[in-house]
Each structure stands twice: as C-alpha cells, then as structure tokens.
Amino acid sequence: MPELPEVETTRRGIAPYVEGREISEVVLRQRSFRVPVPEGLENALVGRRVGTLSRRAKYLLVPLEPREGEEPATLLWHLGMSGSLRIVNLGEPPRKHDHIDLVMDGGRVLRYHDPRRFGFVDWLKGTVDSDSRLARLGPEPLSETFDGERLYRLSRGRRLAVKPFLMDNAVVVGVGNIYASEALFLAGIDPRREAGRIARERYDRLAAAVKEVLTAAITQGGTTLRDFVSGTGEPGYFAQRLNVYGRAGLPCRRCGAELRAVTLGQRASVFCRICQS
C-alpha cells in the first residue's frame, strides 16, 4: 500500500503540472471504487482551476477554485492498496486499470491507475477539517507536534504492542507497516513490547527514528514493492535501504543474526532479536 512517503512523492511529482491549471475535461472509465465516484463529478470539475496541492496523512488534497457563483471545493484522493497518480501527455492511450483522467488546459493529463480499486476520489465542500475522515487524525509525523513526549503520554496503561500503537492514526498519522518496522529497528525497540512499558527516553529515540526514516524515504522517492511509481512514472528507491521489512530469514545488516517474523495487529512484523529489545 502506498504510505506517507509515496503520497508525498506523488504530490511533489504532479504539483508542477497541475497547480494553476484549469481542468478542461474529465474522462471517467470506472465509477466503482472503495467509495464510488460521486455522481456529477465530471461536470463539477470542468472549468475549475487547481490550487496548491497538499497532503494529510495518506490523503492527497486537491483544492479547486470556484467557478462563478460556486463555492470552493477540494478533491480528496486516496491511493488505496495499489493506486497511483501520474502525469501523461494528452493523447497517450490508457493502460488497463487507468480509470480516471483529469485533462489540464496545458495539454497534460493527471491519470489515476488502480488495479485493485481500493482507492477513491471524493468531493469535499466547505472546510477540509470538517470531514470526519480527517478530523480524527493525529499529528503529522514530521511536524513539531509529534515527539517522544506524545508517544509516552498516550501509551501509559496501554498493553497493546508498540508497533500497532505506532500505526494508530489517532496517535500519529501516516506511519504504516513498512516505516513503523524500520523506525523500530532504528530505535532498537522490539515491536512486540507493550506500549505502556516503554520508557520516555526510548520514545524520544523512536519519534526521532520515525522522522529520520520518513525523511529518507521521501528523499529516495518512496518504496517500490509492487505497484508504486511517482507522479512522473519513476519508481522509489528506498527499498534498497530497508533493514527489516520484507527480510525475514535474512541476516541483520547490523549484527548478522537471522531476522524473525511475527504477526502483530494482523500485519507481518520483521525484527532482530539482538538489536531490538
């Protein structure tokens, strides 16, 4: 699944081609996604100019300036399990699973590709923060409001393992399976440990590790494991730097011990029994 670095990489990749451009046409080849495409979306988009793109957790926010007599609105886009947004030239034939095209007045097309159709695009009116999907979210992991003190405070009394605790979007947004595994390795914390039994000092290290891992992943363009490519069609290269994720049974890059796999919160978790305690 595309995680925060992949969505941020997508935002940065497509922004120069869509920001300030007017949508001249919408081509909709499929309406059935995890959330069905709203009726009338095609007509509602044509003639609107795209504002400055942003991201909240794993959601891509595409603000749209109002047409005369209308209110501003925002497209809320989620890439789901296998979705990607990329820029193509006008007239480029669609591939299988290319479901939505937003044609820009500059001759470029923002094309949505999603083989599994677990993603969606929705139409938000009014303020973005009023949407229930966004209102319940915790702080961004790269913001100043996310730190070890927050992790320590929210973990008190929790018997939940630290990895699913870290992946809880009410605690911090956008730390999915890949990057939670990598951050816990970097911080030297066993993913099976109870969240409420971890000291403040270790949570300081974990918060710093989350920021380090996500920053590095964004710099490398995300992690290409199956389907992800950036907004310009390039793969991400952070997979070459993974220490534990997807490496069960292989030697630890740090100590050489065999990496082990367990299931936590219905997700596979790989860790080093020597380097993580």
| Planar angle of CA 34, 40, 42, nearest 5 degrees | 90
The catalytic site residues sit at 2-3, 58, 267
Q: Please report which residue ranges of 94-141 form alpha helices under DSSP H.
A: 132-135
Q: 55 among the known binding-site residues?
A: no
Please count the helices (runs of H) and the strands (runs of E) in the chain: 7, 10
Q: 116 among the known binding-site residues?
A: yes
Say if residues 236 and 224 touch (Cβ distance below 8 Å): yes
- Please report which helix (H) or strand (E) contains residue 261, including its range: strand 260-264
Phi/psi for 15 (5° steps) reads: -55, -45
Q: 97 among the known binding-site residues?
A: yes
Distances (CA, A) of 223 to 36, 54, 174, 268: 28, 20, 14, 17
Q: What is the DSSP letter of 235?
A: P
Question: Tokens 């509602």 correspond to what residue?
Answer: 44
Residues placed in the known binding site: 97, 116, 158
Q: Which residue ranges are tagged as binding site for DNA?
A: 97, 116, 158
